[in-house]
Structure 1
Amino acid sequence: MNLLNVINRLRKTTNPPTEAKSAGSSIVHFGILGASRIAPDAIIKPARCHEEVCIKAIAARDLGRAAKYARKWSIPKVYGGQGGYQDLVNDPEVDAVYIGLPNSLHCEWTIKALSAGKHVICDKPVANNANDTRRMFAMAAEKNLVLLEAWQPRFHPALHRMKDIVDCSELGSITSMHAHFGIWGNVMFPGDDIRYHYDLGGGAFMDLGPYPLNVMCYLTSSNPTVECARAICRPKSTQVDRRMETRLIFADTIPATIIVDHALEGWGPFRLLPRWVKITLKVECEGGTLEIWNYPLPSLWHTITVTPKRGRRRVERCYKRQGDRGEEWWSAYRYQLEAFVDKVKRRSPMAWRSAEDSINAMQVIDAVYTKVRLINDFQNATDAYRM
């Protein structure tokens, strides 16, 4: 892959071309709850290049902020202030809702959106605990609506390629796994970020843990038990984890370690040089190792390194698989939106994240927090975030 191709792909990935909307089929009109930083990449840009999707409305707690956001992203309808979220959910022109609110509000507004007859994409983690997750998917099933937890790597060809390598037995059975996902959060996020507030569903494992956990569940086709866990809390906090290390057992016999960290230590002499991010996942097998770098955002850049015990080491990249719909420049979020629209329109998606996947993952997250006695049961969000 030469440099020009990489630049061209990244340009389209981060600023996709606008696709003409299909005149021959119905458009899925989205409303967005929360003028968040993630929404442009997660739903607004993918919608631009999907012929069957458009963004119809935005709601934020502050009407002025919602209006500014709408102008920037060319969203025609704006809701805000007291009752703004509910007004968007009730809008008859909105078919589906993207929820990018703090974790502690995911269940509440997913239930309200489903009750109003809207399909829902809810940012990960889909809820604060497994009980809420069950309620949400039970409501979706009752209403015959589509609910998807937005864990976008599941839809990207890079992860599918890893699964192919594991399943073809090229390297033999998996014997162990290790993942590390750390960021320099002190610089990347402001000090009052929602990730750092217990009552808003904050914590490093709630924020970063779903990425490696879900990759491991997918590769092993199993759900783990939690053997042990250790948390380091944020300064001046006894409830919000800054770093979490946990040991899991998959398929009864496969040990795995996950480390997530909101405040990576520096590197170099005296650890003074900043380390922005660490995103590695290694799978040890009987006949060698399989490693992926950048599994959270594989559409930007990733490497899949296969190191057999006998044979030559190789490095792969997979942005589109032969026979699949899509383009090499599609982001993981764009692949995810494709699957969601397919479900809404009763077509068969190339990949899917089921209710059981989300419920099982949330049970593991519950178990991790229970092990360290930081129970993730945020029943009441602060009044500042309630509408």
Structure 2
Amino acid sequence: MIGLFKRIYHEFHPPAPAAPSESSPPLRIGVLGAANIAAMAIMRPAQSHPDVVVHAIAARDQARADAFASKWGVARAYGGEGAYQKLLDDPEIDVVYNPLPNALHYEWTMRALAAGKHVLLEKPSADTSDETRKMFAFAEQKGLVLLEAFHYAFHPAFQRAKAILDSGELGDIQSMEVSLAVPAGALKDSDIRFKYELGGGSVMDMGCYCLSIARDLAHAAPVKVLSASAETSSAFPKIDIGTTATLAFPKRESAAEPPAGSDAQTFPATLQSHFRLPPRLGFIPAMIQAHVKVTCERGELFYYNFAWPSFYHYISVKKTDGQGRTVESRTEKCYGEGEKYGWSTYRFQLEAFVDKVRGRTPQHWYSPSDSITNIEWIERIYEATDLGPRPASTAQVFGA
């Protein structure tokens, strides 16, 4: 319990960073939009990083930009018409953090890259796979770092869960279940997640995590969407309030290969995302779901709270015998070591991002092919639900 309070305190009161290097000034970050996620995703992590400083904020409303800058001690606040471009034109900005609505990811990431800025981009990367391919191709052409912010993958808890599966102690994966969902009442009707024209939908939001985690643990892309069903409402006919999709993933190579085309060559992974889980028994609020369950030949792994592991998580491992009886079980937790104890997923991610920009090898990376593959299969899931992919951007970016 003491550890929990300590981690929560560190999340909201990050320790002061070590003295910055005298060899080069810190990277100056500009934030596009005063989104709620900015506090957790970039502002607090930056406070404890010695090599970065959030130097500017841009918002459509000057008062909102000023309030954000005042709260966080940001030197420059751009507001009103043209604020985003003014931030990109600021020669002192090295890195742009883009947490804008999904439909604006492509345009403003391309504009940032055209302005010569590295970009930390909130997930999902864009509304279409074509947009994602263009962004990463442009980043490579410009010699700039572009990272889609799947922060969960940078945390030692997820990496430990993956290492357990990779070790082979539980045998090959037989099935997987990944769920990220919140109870009814958590999101208001006015939330941008319910706006089709802004790239809304549960698969675009929570579901993209579920898909990414399944791919990471399987070390492969899916080969087929076996089934997909979406829950909608008359208020949001084009938005999936919740989606359940089952995908076929290839099994790893084994000594005895099954016949080509056989179902024995794949395993099912069921992904659930939901904005409004119904109450239990009609009146008991549903619990937040954020877990992955992996059933293997010789046991099972259950990782609880992959989305916010710095607060609390556990990795449960059960080994079974030939009759399916549990013969050994254990629980592990990984919060980081030394000065990194209690770091949030976003803090680990920022560490890796800065290392990449500085030309160092990060301890983990989410590659362009990872981002492209993820949005490709998001599109296929939407096609299988008959809702179809989200609308592509019509923005034209000069210099891209």
Quote the offset at 1:201 in angstroms: 0.6
Equivalent position to 1:192, from 190, 193, 198? 190
Q: Please tell me whether residue 176 in structure 1 is matched to residue 172 in structure 2.
A: no
Distance 1:376 1:67 in 2: 36
Q: Is the 8 A contact 2:20 2:51 kept in 1?
A: yes
Q: Is the 8 A contact 2:4 2:311 kept in 1?
A: no
Quote the offset at 1:157 in angstroms: 0.4
User: Mapping of 1:90-239 within 5 angstroms?
Assistant: 90-184=89-183, 186-224=184-222, 225-239=224-238
- TM-score normalised to the size of structure 2? 0.91
User: Mapping of 1:1-387 within 5 angstroms?
Assistant: 3-24=1-22, 25-184=24-183, 186-224=184-222, 225-251=224-250, 252-267=265-280, 270-310=281-321, 311-320=327-336, 327-379=340-392
Q: Which amino acid aligns with 2:129?
A: A
Q: Which amino acid aligns with 1:336?
A: Q
Among the aligned pairs, what percent are the same residue?
Answer: 41
Partner SS state of residue 30, structure 1: strand
Distance 1:134 1:21 in 2: 38
Distance 2:385 2:379 in 1: 10
Q: CA RMSD in A?
A: 1.5
Q: Is the 8 A contact 2:194 2:236 kept in 1?
A: no
Q: Which amino acid aligns with 1:216?
A: A
Q: Is the 8 A contact 2:128 2:390 kept in 1?
A: yes
Provide Cα deviations, 1:154-194, integer angstroms capped at 9, x if missing partner: 1000111011101111101101001222102x422222110
Provide Cα deviations, 1:27-71, integer angstroms capped at 9, x if missing partner: 110000010100011001000000000000000111111111111
Greater Cα offset, 251-260 or 115-124? 251-260
Q: Which amino acid aligns with 1:280?
A: H
Match in the other structure for 1:385: none
Partner SS state of residue 110, structure 1: helix
Quote the offset at 1:237 in angstroms: 2.4
Provide Cα deviations, 1:254-303, integer angstroms capped at 9, x if missing partner: 11111111111112xx3201124112210000000001111111111111
Quote the offset at 1:312 in angstroms: 2.1
Q: Is the 8 A contact 1:200 1:381 kept in 2?
A: no
Partner SS state of residue 346, structure 1: coil
Match in the other structure for 2:324: none
Provide Cα deviations, 1:123-164, integer angstroms capped at 9, x if missing partner: 000101111000000010000000000110010001110111
Gaps of 5+ in 2: 251-264, 322-326, 396-400
Greater Cα offset, 4-13 or 37-46? 4-13
- TM-score normalised to the size of structure 1? 0.94
Q: Is the 8 A contact 1:230 1:245 kept in 2?
A: yes
Greater Cα offset, 42-51 or 204-213? 204-213
Quote the offset at 1:381 in angstroms: 8.4
Partner SS state of residue 69, structure 2: helix
Q: How many residues align?
A: 374
Q: Is the 8 A contact 1:177 1:256 kept in 2?
A: yes
Pair 1:317–1:275, CA change in 2 (3 A): same
Distance 2:359 2:15 in 1: 26
Which aligned segments of 4 or more residues in structure 1 are displaced greater than 6 angstroms? none
Distance 2:244 2:387 in 1: 13
Quote the offset at 1:198 in angstroms: 0.2
Distance 1:234 1:73 in 2: 39
Greater Cα offset, 360-369 or 272-281? 272-281
Pair 1:51–1:5, CA change in 2 (3 A): same
